[in-house]
Amino acid sequence: METFSIAYGELILGGQPLTRLAARVGRTPFYAYERAAIDNRITELRAAFPTTIKLHYAMKANPMPALVAHMRDRVDGIDVASAGEMKVALDAGVAPTAISFAGPGKREAELHQAAAAGILINVESELELDRLASIATQTGWPVRVALRVNPDFELKASGMKMSGGPKPFGIDAERIPSVLGRIRQTLLQFEGFHIFSGSQNLKCEAIIEAQQKSFALAVDLAAHAPTPVRSLNLGGGLGIPYFPGNMPLDLAPIGANLAQIAEQARQALPEAELCLELGRFLVGEAGVYVCRVIDRKISRGETFLVTDGGMHHHLSASGNFGQVVRKNYPLAIGNRMDAPADDIVSVVGPLCTPLDLLGERMPLAHAEVGDLVVVFQSGAYGASASPQQFLDHPRVTEVLV
Ligand SMILES: *Cc1c(COP(=O)(O)O)cnc(C)c1O
């Protein structure tokens, strides 16, 4: 919430009071993402991290084309997770050499498209490697691959664990030496490793430990590689505070650790470009979801604000996108920012399901029909991660301000 300023009792987004922005957009609900907030975040990261660590944007966090285009000149690469996302990145003018493609279950056609585009493909299985080898043989194109490694450790205290133990992502670390041997017998162009161990982490010690282990693993595996490692993607996992008690990450110790890793890499992997891939950390706090109060009703003593938005646009805030125990995202009445939050209300959407909940029994400023409910921390995993067709309400609008 501290990302944005307040004036005239209203939240200010992109320099405009919220009601004026809503009038400009012309309808609710909408998502608004603020360029300045994204830029500030990137500046913070660049200041804390050594310049040798490249920053990539994992665009599945927010694939809005205008936002991806905004990112093009501000980050060093875009990570895509489908051929559809690859198209958005290429359309935005991102150079193929700055695009990488990870994700299990890439279809044959997607692999062919990615090979034709000349982007770096993070290989998730041995069968995928065989398919790419055939494409390289049939087409003669230089097909660039990195191996996504499923390490033998996990990112501790992560919102979503994506490594360690049996996982659908990547190739088990112990299989990598033999897979590297197989690459030697193909025309594939080996570039390096991709190790992504988890998401939404607010413990810098856990992130540091995972980055150290990932680097050490990459150095071990590099000994088996057919050519020097040119690209090492150390993953990301940097989280943002969503709930009361969450503390924002301290970037300084993470940066200090990365500086050490970069120093070791000069010796151990002299040709490697090191990068981190971040999704929500770059855009999550820069976005809000805005919906309008349609009804205010009391049921057996409890107040409900019924809005025109809900879980069909914002599955994460409803608590149904991977939360074990539902907690409220930070909410406010965006056109009554000066009023005390002394009304205990539940904010619900228009869907006929009790899952359609944006805020449960939380203190907000007194709101009436027509007021604007703002959900903060909504720049990542919002519109594109929500079941917009469920109940066939209008799709949500997105603006970049
Ligand atoms: C989802 C994902 C990311 C981004 O995760 P965030 O938590 O949004 O930073 C990065 N890399 C890979 C491989 C992913 O699957």
Q: Which atom of ligand 1 approaches the CA of 277 most closely?
A: 10
324 in helix, strand or coil? coil
- Tracing tokens 């205290």 back to the chain, one arrives at 157
User: Ligand 1 pocket, 380 CB below 6 A?
Assistant: yes
Mean pLDDT by groups of 10 residues along the chain of 401 residues: 91 98 98 98 98 98 98 98 98 98 97 98 98 98 97 78 84 97 97 94 96 97 98 96 95 98 98 98 98 98 98 97 94 98 98 97 98 98 97 97 98
Cα 326 from Cα 75, distance rounded (Å): 33
pTM, full prediction: 0.96
Asked whether 42 and 52 are in contact (CB, 8 A), the reply is no
For 292-319, letters b (16+ CB in 10 Å) and e give: bbeebeeeeeebebbbbbbbbbbbbbbb
End-to-end CA separation in angstroms for the chain: 17
pLDDT of residue 198: 87
Burial 177-211 (b: 16+ CB within 10 A, else e): eebbeebeebbbbbbbbbbbbbbbbbbbebbbbbb
How far does the centroid of ligand 1 lie from the alpha carbon of residue 228, in Å?
26
**Distance (Å, rounded) from C-alpha 212 to C-alpha 257?**
8
Ligand 1 pocket check for 56: Cβ under 6 Å:
no
Could you identify the atom of ligand 1 that is nearest to the CA of residue 284? 8
Query: What is the Cα–Cα distance from 315 to 256, expressed in whole angstroms?
Result: 36
Residue 58 alpha carbon to ligand 1 centre in Å:
6
Contact indicator for 4, 287 with CB cutoff of 8 Å: no
User: What residue ranges in 279-339 does DSSP mark as E strands?
Assistant: 287-299, 302-307, 331-333
pLDDT (0 to 100) of residue 153: 85
Domains along the chain with CATH numbers: 5-32+285-400 (2.40.37.10), 102-278 (3.20.20.10)
Sign (positive or negative) of CA dihedral 302, 305, 311, 317? negative
> DSSP letter at 330?
P
Question: Ligand 1 within 6 A of 279 CB?
Answer: yes
H helix count then E strand count, the chain = 11, 22
Beta bridge partners of 274: 53, 232
Q: Which of 116, 71, 110 is nearest to 94 (CA)?
A: 71
Ligand 1 pocket test, candidate residues 79, 123, 195, 254, most atoms within 8 A of CB: 79
Q: Which pairing describes strands 189-194 and 171-172: parallel, antiparallel, or unpaired?
A: unpaired
Q: What's the pLDDT score for residue 300? A: 98
Q: For 300-396, list the strands marked E by DSSP.
A: 302-307, 331-333, 343-348, 357-364, 372-375
In whole angstroms, what is the distance from residue 274 CA to residue 117 CA? 22
Q: Quick check: CB of 207 below 6 Å from ligand 1? A: no
CB 338, CB 6: distance < 8 Å: yes
Count Cβ atoms within 10 A of the Cβ of residue 369 and give its class: 0-12 exposed, 13-18 middle, 19 or more buried: exposed
Could you tell me if 288 and 383 are in contact, meaning their C-beta atoms sit under 8 angstroms apart? no
pLDDT of residue 138: 98
| Structure-block tokens of residue 330 | 């930070």
CB 341 within 8 A of CB 364: yes
C-alpha 316: how far from chain center: 13
Query: Which amino acid belongs to residue 309?
Result: G
The residues near 268 (Cβ < 8 Å, ≥ 6 apart) are: 219, 222
Q: Is 382 in the pocket of ligand 1 (CB under 6 A)?
A: no
d(Cα 169, Cα 180) in Å, to the nearest integer?
17
Q: What integer pLDDT is reported at residue 1 of this predicted model? A: 63
